[in-house]
């Protein structure tokens, strides 16, 4: 039961051994070196991903500046907007660490859903969860100060803060690296007083 | 074919007359006066919505200040995060105009999906579209300046700018009403030069 995909799905359904077998045999697993670009701006995404191990960032290049919008880590699915819309991607996906990733294509997904009808029925539940998550993320960005967003990140993804360079964390929070240093100093002082 | 729900679904599927009949009879349609709060902070959402007519805002109250996160208008579905998570809502839904709204509950949705199996199969496609939309919205907020966000809004939802008070538009863009006035003046001058 240590397969990240099985772990992910077990939030929604108790898989039978047969289903686990089908899942494990179906998957196309790939290794990528740190720095690999999985998707570039302008490219149409033909694959979706599920991270078995490692960390992937999504970002825009705006006038040469990197604007991080998400970090994905173990047991997280990545469905590029371009995979859904079939239009050229506006953003990049890049491996921030060496990664092991399970790859999905429209064909392999259709195939898998035929073999695992119980899973197909779950599709909209999983989407619904992801949609709620994405809404909350947007809302947090609107309603929280950068300091509160940092505190949030500490709570929800403490490991990220050690895995990812600070300037990328700053970009994700929508602030300059200098401001992030100030936020961290302020919080450190608070925790000591 | 002027039923907004039928219009919405026809992006995904060509409905038969029988399906249209079932849809029209199934729906619980309600009228709400401008100013009605459909969902309050702290309340668990038991309904989801589809706007037939009118405009609904979602917002947070942060230290007494309204932070608008979305405007919903005709032919848009609203699935409150709290409806999905079954936890108390962190935000409000309020009718900004007199509204006519189709109400869904977990029971009525299950019932409808039984009667319309072709629709049930669409669930994850619709969710996928909404997820892509929500991602792009977040990304725009991260990568665009307030001025560019305003230009975006002019393009994608020109009617909103006339229907909604300017201070709510400013809140939605994450800026002060004074800054929105400056943005509008600047854009007006540009358009004249």
Measured distance CA(A77)–CA(A83) in Å, rounded: 13
Q: B69 and A131 in contact by Cβ < 8 A? A: no
Q: What is the pLDDT of residue A66?
A: 93
- Chain A residue numbers touching B143 (CB-CB < 8 A): 60, 62, 67, 69
Q: How far is A93 from chain B (nearest CA, A)?
A: 14
Smallest Cβ–Cβ distance between A127 and the set B124, B137, B141 belongs to B124
ipTM associated with this complex? 0.79
Q: What is the pLDDT of residue B1?
A: 41
The full set of domains in chain B, from first to last, is: 4-143 (2.60.120.10)
Smallest Cβ–Cβ distance between B62 and the set A90, A134, A143 belongs to A143
Tell me the pLDDT tens digit for each residue of B65-119: 999 999 999 989 999 999 999 999 999 999 999 999 999 999 998 888 888 888 8
Q: How far is B134 from chain A (nearest CA, A)?
A: 7
Q: What is the pLDDT of residue A2?
A: 62
Note the pTM of the prediction, 2 decimals: 0.83
Listed residue (A141, A134, A152) closest to A174, CA to CA? A141
- Chain B residue numbers touching A131 (CB-CB < 8 A): 79, 84, 127, 130-131, 134
- Backbone torsions φ then ψ of A110, nearest 5 degrees: -60, -45
Q: What is the pLDDT of residue B143?
A: 86
Q: B135 and A81 in contact by Cβ < 8 A? A: yes
**How many C-alpha atoms does B186 have within 13 Å on its Cβ side?**
11
Contacts of A149 (CB under 8 A, 6+ apart): A140, A141, A173, A174
pLDDT in tens, chain A (193 residues): 468 888 888 888 888 999 888 888 877 889 999 999 999 999 999 999 999 999 999 999 998 999 999 999 998 999 999 999 999 999 999 999 999 999 999 999 888 888 888 887 787 788 888 888 898 889 988 888 889 999 999 998 999 999 999 999 999 998 999 999 999 999 889 888 7
HEC sequence for chain A: CCCHHHHHHCCCCCCCHHHHHHHHHHCEEEEECCCCEEECCCCCCCCEEEEEECCEEEEEEECCEEEEEEEECCCCEECCHHHHHCCCCCCEEEECCCEEEEEECHHHHHHHHHHCHHHHCCHHHHHHHHHHHHHHHHHHHHHCCHHHHHHHHHHHCCCHHHHCCHHHHHHHHCCCHHHHHHHHHHHHHHHHC
| Residue listed under structure tokens 């709510």 | B168
- Chain A residue numbers touching B123 (CB-CB < 8 A): 123-124, 127
Residue ranges of chain B whose pLDDT lies below 50: 1
């Amino acid at each position: 039961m240590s397969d990240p995909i099985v772990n992910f799905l077990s939030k929604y359904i108790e898989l039978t051994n047969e289903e686990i077998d089908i899942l494990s045999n179906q998957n196309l697993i790939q290794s990528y070196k740190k720095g690999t670009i999985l998707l570039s701006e302008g490219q149409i995404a033909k694959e979706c991903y599920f991270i078995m191990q490692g960390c992937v960032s999504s970002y825009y290049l705006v006038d040469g500046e990197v604007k991080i919008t998400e970090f994905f880590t173990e047991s997280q699915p990545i469905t590029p907007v371009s995979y859904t819309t079939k239009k050229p991607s506006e953003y990049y996906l890049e491996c921030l660490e060496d990664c092991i990733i399970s790859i999905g294509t429209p064909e392999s997904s259709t195939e898998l859903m035929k073999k695992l009808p119980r899973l197909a029925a779950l599709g909209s539940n999983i989407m619904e969860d992801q949609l709620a998550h994405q809404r909350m993320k947007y809302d947090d960005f609107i309603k929280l100060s950068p300091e509160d967003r940092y505190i949030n990140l500490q709570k929800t993804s403490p490991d990220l803060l050690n895995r990812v360079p600070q300037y990328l964390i700053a970009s994700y929070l929508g602030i300059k690296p200098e401001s992030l240093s100030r936020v961290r100093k302020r919080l450190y002082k608070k925790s000591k007083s």
